[in-house]
Structure 1
Amino acid sequence: GGAWLIVSGQVSQAVGLGLIVAFVEYSQTYFQPLTQLTSIYSMTQLALTGARRLATVEEQDEENTVPNGKVLKGIKKGVKLENVHFGYNKDKEILHGVSIDVDKGKSVAVVGPTGSGKTTIMNLINRFYDVNSGKVTFDGVDVRDITLESLRNNVGIVLQDSVLFTGTVEDNIKYGKPTASRDEVIAAAKEANIHDFIMTLPDGYDTQVSEENSVFSTGQKQLISIARTILTNPEFLILDEATSNVDTVTEAKIQKAMDAVIAGRTSFVIAHRLKTILNSDKIVVLKDGNVIEEGNHDELIKKHGFYYGLYTNQMAFE
């Protein structure tokens, strides 16, 4: 409007320009605090939400530690899921009667599309959640009757998203076993194929790391996580082995490290890349919360069923 008045000659240019500049400056000065107030309001709302959630966690009863439960001292027979039904919400069941046997010393891989319930099974074995019906057993004993501490001490998990804690590289590896010696830490790192890289760091095992200031790539974090698990030497191992976000050299290292950690242990592998589980003792195919096929790789290929389709499709992209 001001520009039009100047152009049409209704206001002299000198007065008009000064007027417009002053108006724009004042309007910005006027609106800036209002903009800041709205952003502060949204930050305050976020902070309040966080505070409420913290308060909810604080108010929760102490975790059910099964004080008089059985203490798990290793695995003699194996781990079983027996006709397990489960849903995170009561009205939406995810697993519809799943039965899986993992015999002592054997490696069982679970494959299936996203959302088929693979990670849910892992959550139930660790007793992060309780089944709606059916049961999860270690040597025939229901996990609900085992002390949580001894259950968790016997189960090692390597997740696809590895976390680094603030501290030294050594602190990170011995997170699950703080009493471990440097020699034990080095032995675990060597088995996990990460020792050589650690030795290239400025202070080796004493190098300071944190989640924000990480000297490790995604794949190397995964190897640190595997070293952690090797050090705690769990009786039962769960691997969530997504290696799709790392380069092929690191993937080969991760695969080698995983093979080393699985060897001789009772293990449960959530498989994403089928070529990594060709040697599993048993492959369980999960779809929409149901076990639809099981057997070793050769048996499943001969069936020409769902697994055969998954495998041939994946190999076409390799």
Structure 2
Amino acid sequence: MTDAALDTLLGPNGFYLPRGSSAVLLVHGLTGTPAEMRDFGRQLARQGLSVACPQLAGHCDSVAALKASRWEDWYDSVERCFEALAQRHAQVYVAGLSMGALLCLVLASRQRTRVAGLALLSPTFFYDGWNMPKLRQTLFLPLILYSPLRYVFAWQEPPPYGIKDERVRAMVTAVLQKRDSQTADKVGHFKTPATVIWQSRRLIRAARRCLPQVQQPTLIVHSTEDDMASIRNAYLVRDEIGAHQVEICFVDDCYHVLTLDKRKHEVAARVAGFCRGARPASEHLPQYLYPLHAKAA
């Protein structure tokens, strides 16, 4: 595949950092952008890993484009980029953030002999973090999703936007307040249409069904302070995934967006180490690592 063809698959805001023979396919989160993965990708590249991150279908564009996309379209963006990387690199690992982690699970279940391993960052099956209103999840959201209201309603994400680092959060807030034509390119959409939430729920169901079929070595990284998705999500993956080699690492002093927050360097180092050391799952007994960083007693 030519460089031009790969650029087309990556999209206008995607990126590719060619380095070593092993590659990592990064997948950004729902309503996010490749920008949230770029610095993280650079850190992996410094460790000798080639890195690619595609722009998911419907993202970095208008709200109408986002509403028109389905989870299958997001997955197609991931799979096509994976195929391109597999033609260029001896091994391809996948690493996804939040809903991006779920897309990685679906890919791994369908490409069992080709995906070398998975790094799941803040995998999200339940929106049960400390900043998620319980009434919204249990009462209002179901009423909206299962009625015609889902075609007109949108959910405004409140601060802290998954980011504990005040400097980074201030930068995101400044971009949102500016509201220029490139806001979606830079930080994504912070007002999520209900139809997109509906699609995310379809993805959650599909990814959970895929968990027992995922056999590759897996690293799960989750914050103990995640504002959007509690560590219950990490335990669910550990308990239901089919892989024998599973590592769970908890991090402190950060929220949901691990690739931008205070522990991003430690998380990147752990992911890089995992990608350099992962071997076929059949060679390992189950193992769990607790934690990467724990809260002080």
Give TM-score, length-normalised by structure 1: 0.27
Q: Which has the higher strand share?
A: 1
Please say which structure displays the higher CA radius of gyration: 1
